[in-house]
Amino acid sequence: MELKNNLTTETGWEIIQDAFDPEDLVTTGSNFMIGNGYLGYRGTFDNWGPEEFVACVVTDTWDQAKDSRWSELCNVPNGLFSEIKADGETCSLFSGSLKNYSHRLDLRYGLNSRKIQWVGSNGQGVELESRKFASYDTHNLLVQEFKFSAVKSGIYTLKTGINGEVWSLNGSHFKSGKTLRLTEDLIGSHLQTYELGTEVAIVEGVNLKGNPPEEMHISKSGDSIFREYTFHLKPGETVALEKVIAIAHSNELEDPLGAAQKMVHDALGKGYAELFTSHKKPWDAFWKISDIQISGNPEAQLLTRFNLYQAFIATPTHANLPVGARGLSCQVYQGAAFWDQETYNLPMFAFTHPEIAERLVAYRYDTLQGARRKAQGLGYYGAFYAWTSGKTGDELFPDFFFTDVLTGRPIRNHFNCWQIHISPDVVYGIWLYYQATGDWDFIVKQGAEVLFEVAHFLVSRVHLKKDKGRYEIIRVLGPDEYHENVDNNAFTNYLARYALQKACIVYDRLAIEQNETLKALVGKIELPQMARGDWQEISENLFLPQPDPETGIIEQFDGYFKLEDIRPDALRKRLIDPGEYWGWPNGIAIHTQVLKQADVIQLLAMLDGFSQEILTANYEYYEPRTEHGSSLSPSVHALVASKAGHPEEAYRYFLESAGIDLYNESKKVMSGGSFLGGIHTAAAGGVWLILVKGFAGMVLTDDGVSFRPALPETWDAYTFKIRIKGCLLEVGLNQKEISILNVASNSGSLRVAAKGKEAQLHPGETFLA
Amino acid sequence: MELKNNLTTETGWEIIQDAFDPEDLVTTGSNFMIGNGYLGYRGTFDNWGPEEFVACVVTDTWDQAKDSRWSELCNVPNGLFSEIKADGETCSLFSGSLKNYSHRLDLRYGLNSRKIQWVGSNGQGVELESRKFASYDTHNLLVQEFKFSAVKSGIYTLKTGINGEVWSLNGSHFKSGKTLRLTEDLIGSHLQTYELGTEVAIVEGVNLKGNPPEEMHISKSGDSIFREYTFHLKPGETVALEKVIAIAHSNELEDPLGAAQKMVHDALGKGYAELFTSHKKPWDAFWKISDIQISGNPEAQLLTRFNLYQAFIATPTHANLPVGARGLSCQVYQGAAFWDQETYNLPMFAFTHPEIAERLVAYRYDTLQGARRKAQGLGYYGAFYAWTSGKTGDELFPDFFFTDVLTGRPIRNHFNCWQIHISPDVVYGIWLYYQATGDWDFIVKQGAEVLFEVAHFLVSRVHLKKDKGRYEIIRVLGPDEYHENVDNNAFTNYLARYALQKACIVYDRLAIEQNETLKALVGKIELPQMARGDWQEISENLFLPQPDPETGIIEQFDGYFKLEDIRPDALRKRLIDPGEYWGWPNGIAIHTQVLKQADVIQLLAMLDGFSQEILTANYEYYEPRTEHGSSLSPSVHALVASKAGHPEEAYRYFLESAGIDLYNESKKVMSGGSFLGGIHTAAAGGVWLILVKGFAGMVLTDDGVSFRPALPETWDAYTFKIRIKGCLLEVGLNQKEISILNVASNSGSLRVAAKGKEAQLHPGETFLA
């Protein structure tokens, strides 16, 4: 079927592009990317380079670029570079004529494939076909099948190997390295990063099939190394190769070059078909639980799968590492975790693949030391998590992020020091993981320490207003980043209380059940004796902005209602330059009620227990004032609109969120002078939230789960699976009813509720409402 | 003698300008102004208008201009307008030729006089002479003697009367009014202000002397009304008039027009000479106590008198009204009081003319209700004084003051809501008045209420950091306005403690001596029962940034030392536009240690008890980092440099401060898009501080006063008088010794100390050291 943005799908499992549009370089490269949570490889053409945004982004390679204030993941040299010349003319998407262009991404297995027929200026040309995937079996590997056949008789050259010219957003990361012919068959590139001296190795090998070359030699140039083949081909004669590259680095492996060499050698021995078979298994396992099947609306089906796909390949499953805000689609946002990880990406895994979710929460435990250093550096105790968190958890967000496009002056954004909700958000994620899995063991071994340290941090961050007899949180920045330097931000204060309460719960349960463990932990982190009491006292006396008794509206922060009440479209007219940042220090939104994203809506999406009236009142107040300058905003609006009784708006926001990348809905490639392209990973995770927490209205209860369905009008039905405390449930919804199957192989029963009905659901039983 | 800026003086009691420079319009108009604390009349030429910055600024006429966000004093129509034509050609400073130009300001009696010989293009011309003063006997009156004589025979016309074309900085203040011929002799203008409908009346009358006119008629045009005289004159024949105008308004007088008419009528009856005689008495009384005589340095003598003159005429002595930051020299800063009033202008009067000082502190009592309203509006208790304070004490400072000259966007300066030291400053002023006068009765009747309400405000403004067991003051702006939004500003915290301590002292003394009065006051202002305890607890536990044990330096605010350490000149190179504001929100200074004025220096200038080492260490640290973007800065630097053992720098800063207006040292007529011309009244008061607290090192002691002289090298000697608790002292300093005479007519004795000597000084005795 036809999709927007000149895309089609056949089965709802692939996206297909039938024409090449140079305008869409950035978007297409992101949307057609492949990856495996270890690396991301953009959907670019074989002979492209930095100008076309070719990138192979590798996790766990954080390093500060030369002459830069940025620590970010490295783009590594492109080992999948290939260039064909037919009688001396380069086969290019930018010249000659293209026929039968087809570019596909198979979502089921993360397979990027391409066919073109290219004819050059002298009538000479090639038919080219390639397929590639980032192995889920051996995450260091990229595997490609590449073949071309001659249109006319002639001399064809193929230059293939490792292109060392790297697109790097904020300066070069590599000292000039070595390029090597490792063996008769293998070539490699061996580099070191500037700051930390991390070793990175790319090894490439090929199995050459089809017509043999007349000649082959190795060429080197700068940091690049290529094989150059010459073929004499007659019409229809074909050259085929299986290419394998391995990317390894010293943060993971001791001898990256040797390890990569071995991996490529072994992989070449297996060949493309066998490698692909092994690669398919983890994908099958993923989709078995995670697929959401929608009937009646193929577009919604495809969009949903596309987002699940992007959310999955962005997430490291091989180690405890963060999910980047742009996944591994580019270097934007430094390949590091933000609060999005807990609030947008974790939930899907917590309820479908808890073993992946565990890696994410364990990552926060692993980075506790960095969070402690950040707190200390700013004069606080405990754990203040990094706004931008890489390997160590030290703050990667620079003091100056945006540039004032009107003056060229750097802007001191305070995301790193004032957006303190990150620490409660981490607690939220851990608690969500615990609620979904019941994994108390994780809490005991890792979670408790995080919770205590966050609570400890909050004690040192709140202020007591003696005249009002309450604690306040002063000078923060909520998720709505247009309003810096505000007090008693509703989202921040509610989440802070949430975190303090969970710390108390865990403390008390440990005191009763595992007092020795508690003592050891208290000793280890040197928790003061009154800490537990402080947490409770603060959580009980922390000021929480209450719904107005008349209107039900919660004020986003102290004084918000006094700001100018204007709508985003009217406000936009005050822009002097369309690339201006709307927020601090003097952007157009700061003295108005216009929001980047609505903190109260975010709060209502995350914490349960607000009444329908409150949901509706706040949605109706904040939604028209929200500019959605954040890609996180539409999904949470879809979710809350659904709960607030606005199904049409919920669906509109669902489409906006789900299409943000595929349909290039967020045209904002630049903001405040910064390149912000790439996949919006949080929005991808947000699609799962909309479908499960929004349209199905899933809410965890003390002993199970309840649903409050609000199916989009145009859908006949949809089904998804969730796992709660080990029980796999199959949930089906149509316009009339909801069915919940407790899968027969489960061992436990669960309380389920929907539409006023309630039941204890045993394995093999189905609940209908 | 020659002064800078093409000025001379003869006796050290006048400034004389011998040539006219159109470039200096703004400065000359301010420097040669006359006034009497009720009105200020700029030193402009008789036929000038708005383009030449003619202004007659009248206190107590605050009103919001039409279509403006500004409440400010009104400029009223110019009743001293006169224009001469000789055979049809206008006598103008901008055309024809000028001979024997002389423009003088007599500082002893506030007399502005001018002589010119003007010759027009056809050789026709006049010799013109005029003198004018703003009466200190009847403050509503401006009195002028105006005469001219013919160069050649011809027809001379004189148009004289009330020019209704008014220079008004931020929009028109008057609805179109009435111009009237009141009697045969008097004409008038009767106006109403836009916002509050204040009635303003200007009445003009003349005594015509010398040659009689051929003809006279009254002409009106818009809001102007003139007499037009025609004379046939022969060479040397003279026309002379005595002009009197009265300016009255309904905030002072019930029937302003009638009152003004009577005043002019009576004054014309007396004539110029008698009016001037009455006017001289208050001036004699002022200089008798306030003159500071310097020998060996005529320039320093003149500069000192010039500043004492400007400080005096800026200060209302007829009613409890504020001293404006630009006095009555123009509308800049709204003719309203800032913290300068207490910290720069009050001290001189407290120690020389306590009856004037009492008006200023009583003004703060009178405006307590406005300060309460401000506190309440911002969610606090007690009294938060206006940053910009007019009649009622309600905040006049607009939320948006500066404009970003780079983007044209208004800047939200937080002077009004974050510069909270204003309330402790008011307490400082009251306490200074009390210390200087011993006027406990004022404290009982008015001061106590202010002190308690300020303390009450501080209770509601501080935050308790429970983890640190201390109170903090968060999000303020110190006198250094380049750094907004800072915490634990040294100046603010020390002054806040000072204010809390004084409130405790007064409370306790009242409890012992006048408990019924205390009870009545506590009841009146509804002070909570624990208030007294809270003040003490907070004052004892308020965090005060301490001198670093190694360096002795006090950090200006939390984190100041971590800011970029750069010098003002190097920083200045980052300006994109020379008119840029350096501070909030993104000016060049905000992320650096560069200061507008140094808060710690200000603190050391105001509070005694810091050691010589601390004075020196902090002066040496902060001075090179200070840009002196405020006109208040040089005088306080002179004072502290003197105490810190840097006499040369002290003298350099003295000259800078004393010459700021006369020498036009502050070239900053515009900043951040705002006109900021006019007399720097605080700097004028600051000159007294330098000479008495700086060079003489005067410090009040428990039972008297001590001195620590540091005479400038180039001075032979200087003398001044001060009054302490009713005792008038004559202090004389030369390079070798200091003499202190307890004037014989005093009734009490005083403990005096200097240079290690100490004595109880009885009336008629002289102390030498």
How do residues A44-80 score in pLDDT, each as one tens digit?
999 999 999 999 999 999 999 988 878 999 999 999 9
Catalytic residue among B72, B204, B358, B481: B481
Known catalytic residue at B299: no
Residue A16 has pLDDT above 90, yes or no: yes
Phi-psi region of A345 (alpha: psi -120 to 50; beta: other; left: phi over 0): alpha
Give me the CATH number covering residue B734. 2.60.420.10
> What sign does the dihedral A634-A635-A640-A643 (CA atoms) show?
positive
Confidence at residue A5, expressed as pLDDT on a 0 to 100 scale: 85
Closest Cα in chain B, distance from residue A483 (Å): 14
One domain, residues B676 and B721? no
Closest Cα in chain A, distance from residue B375 (Å): 14
The answer to whether residue A55 is domain-embedded is: yes
Last residue of a domain, one of B667, B695, B723: B695
Higher pLDDT, B676 or A137: A137
Give residue A629's pLDDT band: very low, low, confident or very high (50, 70, 90): confident
**CB-CB neighbors (< 8 A) of A467 in chain B:** 381, 459-460
- Mean pLDDT, residues A87-109 taken together: 95
One domain, residues B585 and B679? yes
The answer to whether residue B2 is domain-embedded is: no
Instruction: Tell me which DSSP letter residue B562 carries.
Output: G
**B76 vs B94: CA distance, rounded Å:** 25
**CB-CB neighbors (< 8 A) of B467 in chain A:** 381, 459-460
Q: Which of B308, B323, B380, B326 is nearest to B108 (CA)?
A: B308
Q: Please state whether the peptide bond connecting residue A585 to the residue before it is cis, i.e. omega within 30 degrees of 0.
A: yes
Give residue A40's pLDDT band: very low, low, confident or very high (50, 70, 90): very high
- Mean pLDDT, residues B340-359 taken together: 98
Which of helix, strand or coil describes residue B235? Answer: coil
**A686 vs A635: CA distance, rounded Å:** 5
One domain, residues B321 and B343? yes
Which range (A224-233, A237-246, B562-571, B656-665) has the least confidence?
Answer: B656-665
**B461 vs A501: CA distance, rounded Å:** 28
Residue A260 has pLDDT above 90, yes or no: yes
The answer to whether the CB of A355 falls within 8 A of the CB of A320 is no
**CB-CB neighbors (< 8 A) of B472 in chain A:** 463
The answer to whether residue B1 is domain-embedded is: no
Confidence at residue A664, expressed as pLDDT on a 0 to 100 scale: 84
Confidence at residue A667, expressed as pLDDT on a 0 to 100 scale: 58
The answer to whether residue A731 is domain-embedded is: yes
Lookup result for tokens 């004539």: B271
**CB-CB neighbors (< 8 A) of A408 in chain B:** 576
Mean pLDDT of chain A: 95
The answer to whether residue A14 is domain-embedded is: no
Which range (A624-638, A685-699, A728-742, B356-370) has the least confidence?
Answer: A624-638
Give me the CATH number covering residue B319. 1.50.10.10
Confidence at residue A566, expressed as pLDDT on a 0 to 100 scale: 98
**CB-CB neighbors (< 8 A) of B407 in chain A:** 406-407, 576, 586
Confidence at residue A669, expressed as pLDDT on a 0 to 100 scale: 62
Contact check, Cβ <8 Å, B584/A584: no
What residue numbers bound the domain in which A400 lies? 296-695
Gyration radius from chain A CA atoms? 27
Q: Which residue of B has its CA nearest to A587?
A: B409
What confidence tens digit (pLDDT) does each residue in B507-533 have? 999 999 999 999 999 999 999 989 999
- Mean pLDDT, residues B176-186 taken together: 91
Confidence at residue B676, expressed as pLDDT on a 0 to 100 scale: 72
Residue B674 has pLDDT above 80, yes or no: no
Mean pLDDT of chain B: 95
One domain, residues B86 and B135? yes
What confidence tens digit (pLDDT) does each residue in B188-231 have? 999 999 999 999 999 999 999 888 899 999 999 999 999 999 99
Residue A706 has pLDDT above 90, yes or no: yes
Phi-psi region of A664 (alpha: psi -120 to 50; beta: other; left: phi over 0): left
Of B474, B558, B585, the CB nearest to A474: B474
What confidence tens digit (pLDDT) does each residue in A518-560 have? 999 999 999 998 999 999 999 999 999 999 999 999 999 999 9
Residues 6 or more apart from B258 whose CB is under 8 A from it?
none
Confidence at residue B666, expressed as pLDDT on a 0 to 100 scale: 63
Q: Which of A34, A6, A29 is nearest to A107 (CA)?
A: A34
Cα–chain center distance at A646: 28
Q: Please state whether the peptide bond connecting residue A634 to the residue before it is cis, i.e. omega within 30 degrees of 0.
A: no
Last residue of a domain, one of A246, A273, A290: A290
Lookup result for tokens 């919940």: A740
Burial (Cβ within 10 Å: 0-12, 13-18, ≥19) of residue B213: middle
Residue B667 has pLDDT above 70, yes or no: no
What confidence tens digit (pLDDT) does each residue in B434-473 have? 999 999 999 999 999 999 999 999 999 999 999 999 999 9
User: Pairing state of beta strands A14-17 and A400-403?
Assistant: unpaired
- Which DSSP string do the residues of B703-752 spell out, in sequence order? TEEEE-----TT-SEEEEEEEETTEEEEEEEESS-EEEEE-TT----EEE
Residue A676 has pLDDT above 80, yes or no: no
What confidence tens digit (pLDDT) does each residue in B485-510 have? 999 999 999 999 999 999 999 999 99
One domain, residues B651 and B757? no
**CB-CB neighbors (< 8 A) of A412 in chain B:** 586, 590-591
Residues of A at the B interface, defined by Cβ within 8 angstroms: 379, 381, 404, 406-409, 411-412, 459-460, 462-467, 472, 474-475, 485, 534, 558, 576, 584-586, 590-591
Contact check, Cβ <8 Å, A460/B467: yes
Q: Which residue of B has its CA nearest to A410?
A: B586
Neighbours of B361 (CB within 10 A): 30
Q: What is the pTM of this model?
A: 0.93
Which amino acid is it at B472?
E
Of A406, A411, A464, the CB nearest to B466: A464
| Interface test mutation site (partner A, options B384, B467, B486, B590, max chain A beta carbons within 10 A) | B467
- Mean pLDDT, residues A374-399 taken together: 96
The answer to whether residue B61 is domain-embedded is: yes
- Mean pLDDT, residues B177-181 taken together: 93
Confidence at residue A668, expressed as pLDDT on a 0 to 100 scale: 59
The answer to whether residue B89 is domain-embedded is: yes
Instruction: Tell me which DSSP letter residue A691 carries.
Output: I
Confidence at residue B253, expressed as pLDDT on a 0 to 100 scale: 97
Neighbours of B23 (CB within 10 A): 8
One domain, residues A531 and A579? yes
Which amino acid is it at A480?
D
The answer to whether residue A19 is domain-embedded is: no
Q: What is the tally of structural domains in chain B? A: 3
Beta bridge partners of A731: A720, A740
**A230 vs B230: CA distance, rounded Å:** 109
User: Pairing state of beta strands B738-742 and B766-768?
Assistant: antiparallel
Contact check, Cβ <8 Å, B406/A411: no
One domain, residues A392 and A534? yes
Instruction: Tell me which DSSP letter residue B332 carries.
Output: G
**Strand blocks (E) in B107-153:** 111-119, 125-134, 141-150
One domain, residues B610 and B673? yes
Contact check, Cβ <8 Å, A411/B586: yes
Confidence at residue A93, expressed as pLDDT on a 0 to 100 scale: 94
Lookup result for tokens 């010098």: B567
Confidence at residue A671, expressed as pLDDT on a 0 to 100 scale: 61
The answer to whether the CB of A613 falls within 8 A of the CB of A642 is no
Predicted-complex ipTM score: 0.89
One domain, residues A516 and A663? yes
Confidence at residue B672, expressed as pLDDT on a 0 to 100 scale: 61
One domain, residues A331 and A368? yes
Give me the CATH number covering residue A166. 2.70.98.40
**B213 vs A677: CA distance, rounded Å:** 85
Q: Which of B541, B373, B539, B357 is nearest to B453 (CA)?
A: B373
Percent of chain A at pLDDT > 90 equals 92
Residue A670 has pLDDT above 80, yes or no: no
One domain, residues A82 and A131? yes
Confidence at residue A672, expressed as pLDDT on a 0 to 100 scale: 61
Last residue of a domain, one of A236, A271, A290: A290
Confidence at residue B66, expressed as pLDDT on a 0 to 100 scale: 86
What's the full length of chain A, in residues?
A: 769
Lookup result for tokens 């690396």: A39
Give residue B29's pLDDT band: very low, low, confident or very high (50, 70, 90): very high
One domain, residues A689 and A750? no
Give residue A23's pLDDT band: very low, low, confident or very high (50, 70, 90): confident
> What sign does the dihedral A361-A366-A371-A374 (CA atoms) show?
negative
**A340 vs A483: CA distance, rounded Å:** 19
| Interface test mutation site (partner A, options B466, B527, B564, max chain A beta carbons within 10 A) | B466
